[in-house]
Chains A and B, each alone.
Chain A
């Protein structure tokens, strides 16, 4: 991905760590990789409630949210983020994430409207390319 012309709309991504999970390496690795690929990344730090995450997404008008979780609490926290996001009128926002998420949980979440979820060992370029493609697809579908 080439650096874009200054007039082009940058992709804005919120990277958030829900719950009491203190593992923040993955979130930071993904945030830095996205920055290095030309994304504008809003990082909110640790210990975010679903309410805080959705409120930040509203104010920042992001194109995508990436949740990072390794604590095992994803089935309690992720669906709540999705529900609040829909209630806030932000169903168009790409909702993705990663961390320690067993395959069957990932499938269940994807069925609830989550985009692809990424586990340990994922290459950062795969994540960047995926988010860019998915956001561009959504925006062209939205404005059509």
Chain B
């Protein structure tokens, strides 16, 4: 935790020093006040990397698929790759056991690969608050591709599709929740489906079910930002390394299609806007409610309202009114 001067940090980062890259991500995670200025200086160097999100139910094999994709793209020598892998924080202790690396060892030691584990901390939606910033740091580090693995909560994770160019939904046969999860919305957000563990029975059936559902909901597919993109359903086995070429090619094809339709740049602008909105939200939240019970400018008022038995909606409306009243007086 020895801090050198920030300028030195950026200089070391520009030289490609991995410790500097790692430290920038740490500063983002810690919401270190120095990060804001550093980040704004890096932002100009971001936007190049293809950002690929991987989501899906717990244990579907997201990390194993990432490992195989790393191997595929690195063996083809297609530039640097960054990985951000998010695992859940314990809501009780605030701690986390980050185990995604266990499955991502095949390119460890490759100087063109950088993997960072991240705890979700107090964020929801399958990502951590600093996930986007970590992806940007890796983008500025020179990654051609940045892979973002979400927390496998088996629920809808729209967040990842908002922050990534291409969203891969990883499913596996035999998980009862797979189809459930698709109903809940994974169908709409996926650009590519990977049916993993195809070395086990059931892959064919799951793929067929999925194709059928996609056919039925082709209206959804048509309404998506990218015209005419039909999400491919690919059967893979991360364990046997089978189907990985096709998966990697589908991901790359989606990027080319985004570029062809001019959506690559458009998505970047929308993403930056979303980032700014999130920063505003976080700043306001910290200011008004701080981090604990009764904290922040409105924390005590909130507690008093609760003590007085005020209804949640009425209380929220009153707190909002107080905020806008205060803003007008400024």
Contact = CB atoms under 8 A, between A and B. Distances in A.
Interface centre among B32, B97, B114, B122 (most CB of A within 10 A): B97
B26 interface: yes
Contacts of B108: 52, 55-56
Contact of B94 (A4, A43, A52, A142): A4
A44 B114 CA distance: 15
A37 B96 CA distance: 9
Nearest to A39: B95
Interface stretch (B99-107, B153-161, B184-192): B99-107
B95 A35 contact: yes
Nearest to A9: B30
A52 B108 CA distance: 6
Interface residues of B, number: 38
Interface string B8-22: 000000000011001
A131 B102 CA distance: 23
Interface of B: 1-3, 18-19, 22-23, 25-26, 29-32, 89-90, 92-99, 101-102, 105, 108-109, 114-117, 119, 121-122, 286, 291-292
The interface centre, meaning the residue of A8, A39, A40 with most chain B CB atoms within 10 A of its CB, is A40
Contacts of A38: 93-95
A36 B95 contact: yes
B285 to A, nearest CB: 10
Interface residues of A, number: 40
A8 B26 CA distance: 11
Interface stretch (A65-73, A85-93, A106-114): A85-93
A41 B114 contact: no
A139 B2 CA distance: 7
Given A10-B119, A52-B109, A58-B19, A42 B2 contact: no
B97 A32 contact: yes
A36 B90 contact: yes
B18 A59 contact: yes
Nearest to B129: A6
A42 B87 CA distance: 10
A138 B93 contact: no
Contact of A59 (B32, B93, B99, B114): B114
A45 interface: yes
A31 B93 CA distance: 13
B23 A61 contact: yes
Contacts of A35: 90, 93, 95-97
A129 interface: no
A58 B12 CA distance: 14
Contacts of A34: 95
B90 A5 contact: no
Nearest to B32: A9
20 contacts: A5-B291, A6-B122, A6-B291, A10-B94, A35-B95, A35-B97, A36-B90, A40-B95, A40-B119, A41-B98, A42-B98, A42-B101, A44-B101, A45-B101, A52-B109, A56-B108, A58-B22, A59-B18, A60-B117, A61-B25
Query: What are the 7 tightest A-B residue pairs by CB atom distance, in nearest-first order?
Result: A45-B102, A142-B2, A61-B22, A139-B1, A3-B94, A35-B95, A5-B291
A105 interface: no
Contact of B97 (A9, A41, A52, A88): A41
